[in-house]
Amino acid sequence: MDELIPANEKAGVPAAGALGVADFLPAATPYAIDPVQSITEVLKAVDDKIPDFAKLVRTDKIALLKDVETRHVVDFATLVRLTYMGYYSRSDVRPMFGVGAHPVQPKGYDVARESNELMDSLTAPVRARGQVFRDV
Amino acid sequence: MKNEPVDVLIVGAGASGAAIAWSLLETRMRILCLEQGPHLADKDFPSRDDDYELSRFGKFSCDPNVRGLKQDYPINADDSCIMPVNFNAVGGSTINFLGHWPRMKPSDFKTKTLDGVADDWPVDYATLSPFYDMNDQTTGVSGLAGNPAYPKYSPPLPPIPIGKLGQTLAKGFNEMGWHWWPSDVSILSEDYDGRQKCVNAGTCDLGCAAGAKGGTNFTYWPMLENAGVELRTECRVREITVDQDTGMATGVIYHGSDGQVHEQKAELVIVACNGVGTPRLLLNSKSKIFPDGLANRSGMVGKNLMFHPLTGVTGVFDEPMKGHEGPMACSILSQEFYETDATRGFVRGYGLHSGRSTTPMTYALGGFGIDNPIPWGDEHRDVMDNVYPYIAGLTVVAEDLPEEHNCVTLDPNLTDSDGISAPKITYRLGENSRKILKHGEERAKEILLAAGANKVLSKGDDAVWWRAGWHQMGTCRMGDDPSRSVVNGWGRSHDVKNLFIVDGSIFVTAGAVNPTSTIQALALYVGDSIKTNIETLFD
């Protein structure tokens, strides 16, 4: 899972596995037909190839995952999709991407309305060019 | 559940059903509306939850096949490149629509005369104009007066903020010398009529828990219920019944919230289920005198399905664009390429919409309506860190032309939870639409670069957005010729004199703008026509 969403250590953004996203997957039934089955298939495919995946160097891990992705297209896509959902649904992750941790209602975001002067100056060239619809 | 006869029975409590009920209030007729979905309370909207984004892929998905709720009917879209999307509740798809509110233009109603394609509408812009204005007042529309892309009108509220993203793109349009304007939106820029202004949550598709967006659950329905219109929720209509001697509609058979099947009699039946639901209901209403479906002697019920095919181009800028802050799809709109210009190699045209961007999960999963996740691994890291925060995009919204082979039929096997046949969509992209999208994609790239993008991202394939069939039009079209249309110039069925249709299905052409403003203006116009013609309504 850490290979699906790796960390950005410099920016303090954790990888998916380190964040515990695996806990999200079994309960993800509203978002996939049978998440457990898909994950099990992928894990089995990995295990069949290399029983000790964790001991591989990173390049070998990625090569193996790409191979599994090719042979188990649907299940692997489900795992990727659910990993993204489990990761980005966390309120502690969103601020790392500039988005508020809070539920967006009722607080929302402060976005100032453009002043009349700014809007006038932005639209002046458009108004100057005149009508752009056909008279019928 | 009482089923005493009513004067007016409306099927569907969405955009058009609510508007026509409001129009008919002054007649003092007894009005009943049957809605297959529930009446959602504030607490039901997911934007108040910590993990609000998840619901976009579950119970608040725009795709009824993903939601799979009891009130939803499945849609077979295997033979379509666009999946119709909707919502079933009081408010209909105005619950999860994005509030973009452009009007159609005068030329949209005259495409046969002007461009030799499709058909002219039996109504024109000038006729609908006062109903657009009336609806804007009731709904609470924000925008900037003086748009040179339209005949003169004034939105009742000042524009919403276009934000850094909108300002940046506006400069790009100005650099190119092309039209743009702040979007008209049915989202409140100021407190209005007892409703709270928008807090820029950026999740309009998850329903507006604040009531700032003009869903009819917040605009028309509180007034209607106070005025005594009866709203029966979780009631799914199976068929419209017809007197086999007179050919007049007598009411409906519906599955009630009590799990029982009921008959409801009415003097007048109004169908307001939009471009997929309405033909589905008519095709399911077969009888001896209407063996091919009700009001379908022309054979046009379900034909000429139009969407607005969409594609998008994204610019990556040097500074964060904060695209998740503000009304989701609404910032600025260019209509530079809306009207026909024969030198472009296609007829009609398109709009370039600057929506905003979205939240991280939705972006990672491929973007709203697209469903093509970004890569995993190092590339994922790169996209989320170095692209996502810096993007501003343009969506090409193409005018679709009516083609009879694009249609809604009944699926022979698929049914909803009450055993009623579900719709099947057959739709392929027309060559004209394909050329429009290609042209729009190239122009969008030019604008983004002119606006200062350091990189432009486009899909580079020929596919349109999949989960993007918001705008469903043309499947019961208006017309003066009963052999080529389903309803007349004021929404009355040619075949059944007390049956009216008021939703997007009666559109003759699609324009290249979001249709809800026009759907409601039309519903108000039909309501007005009913009142005007009340003495001879069934002649």
From B53, B161, B377, residue closest to A6, measured CB to CB: B377
Q: HEC string of A38-71?
A: HHHHHHHHHHHHCCCHHHCCHHHHHHHHHHHHHH
| Binary contact (B51, A107; C-beta < 8 A) | no
**CA dist list (Å): B480 to B121, B404, B522:** 9, 18, 16
Euclidean distance between CA atoms B77 and B371, whole angstroms: 15
Query: Which domain covers residue B373, as residue numbers?
Result: 6-533
3-state helix, strand, coil in chain A (%, to 5): 60, 0, 40
Identify the closest residue of chain B to A90 by CA–CA distance: B51
Q: Does B368 have pLDDT greater than 80?
A: no
pLDDT at residue B461, as a whole number: 76
Q: State pLDDT tens for residues B315-337.
A: 999 999 999 999 988 899 999 99
* pLDDT 10s digits, B27-63: 999 999 999 999 998 889 999 999 999 999 999 999 9
Tens digits of residue pLDDT in B132-142? 999 999 999 99
CATH classification of the domain holding B204? 3.50.50.60
- How many other C-beta atoms are found inside a 10 Å radius of the C-beta of residue B38? 16
Cβ contacts of B70-73, under 8 Å, gap ≥ 24: B70/B234, B70/B417, B71/B36, B71/B37, B71/B38, B71/B234, B71/B236, B72/B416, B73/B277, B73/B280, B73/B416, B73/B420, B73/B422, B73/B423
Question: Would you place residue B78 in the very low, low, confident or very high pLDDT band (cuts 50, 70, 90)?
Answer: very high
**Nearest residue on chain B to A11, alpha-carbon basis:** B385
A135 touching chain B per CB within 8 A: yes
Do the chains contact at A111 and B163, CB–CB below 8 Å?
yes
Closest residue in chain B to residue A95, using alpha carbons only: B360
Residue in A111, A118, A129, A131 to test binding to B, most B beta-carbons within 10 Å? A111
Q: Of B330, B460, B459, B473, nearest to B399 (Cα)?
A: B473
pLDDT digit string, tens, across residues B275-286: 999 999 999 999
Strands B6-11 and B261-271: parallel
DSSP conformation class of B213? B
This model of the complex carries an ipTM of 0.94
Domain membership flag for residue B152: yes
Q: How far is A48 from chain B (nearest CA, A)?
A: 22
Contacts of B115 in chain A (CB under 8 A): none
Domain-embedded: residue B1: no
Tens digits of residue pLDDT in B461-505: 778 999 999 999 999 999 999 999 999 999 999 999 999 999 999
**Does the residue B120 lie in any domain?**
yes
b/e string for A19-45 if b means 16 or more Cβ within 10 A?
Answer: bebeebbeebebbbeebeebbebbeeb
- Say whether residue A98 is in contact with chain B using an 8 A CB cutoff: yes
What lies within 8 Å, CB to CB, of A38 at 6+ separation is A32, A74, A75, A78, A79, A82
Q: Work out how many domains chain B is built from and give that number.
A: 1
Task: Kindly give, in sequence order, each residue whose CB lies less than 8 Å from that of residue A33, ignoring residues fewer than 6 positions away.
Answer: none
Q: What is the pLDDT of residue B459?
A: 77
Q: Is residue A128 within 8 angstroms of chain B, CB to CB? A: no
Considering only the beta carbons, identify the residue of A85, A103, A134 that sits closest to B339: A134
What DSSP designation does A87 have? Answer: H
**Strand pairing of B261-271 and B249-255?**
antiparallel
Residue B538 lies in a domain: no
- B191 torsion bin: left (phi>0), alpha (psi -120 to 50), beta (else): beta
Q: What is the pTM of this model?
A: 0.96
B325 is a domain residue: yes
For the stretch A21-48, pLDDT in tens is 989 988 898 898 888 999 999 999 999 9
Q: Quote the CA–CA distance of B157 and B189 in Å, as a whole number.
A: 7
pLDDT at A83 over 60: yes
The DSSP call for residue B450 is H
Residue in A4, A81, A99 nearest the CB of B377: A4
Tell me if chain B has a CB within 8 Å of the CB of A78: no
Q: B377-407, pLDDT tens digit by residue? A: 999 999 999 999 999 999 999 999 999 999 9
Please give the Cα distance from B528 to B537 (Å, whole number).
12
CB A106 within 8 A of CB B210: yes
Q: What share of chain B is helix, strand, coil (3-state, %, to 5)?
A: 30, 20, 50
Could you tell me which residues are beta bridge partners of residue B247?
A: none
- Residues in a beta bridge with B350: B398
Q: Which residues of B touch A31 (CB under 8 A)?
A: 54, 57-58
Q: What is the average pLDDT score of chain B?
A: 96
- CB distance B148–A11 less than 8 Å? no
Residue B539 falls within a domain, yes or no? no
At residue B369, the pLDDT reads 67
Burial class of residue B346 in the structure, from the number of CB atoms within 10 Å of its CB (0-12 exposed, 13-18 middle, 19+ buried): buried
**Is B188 contained in some domain?**
yes
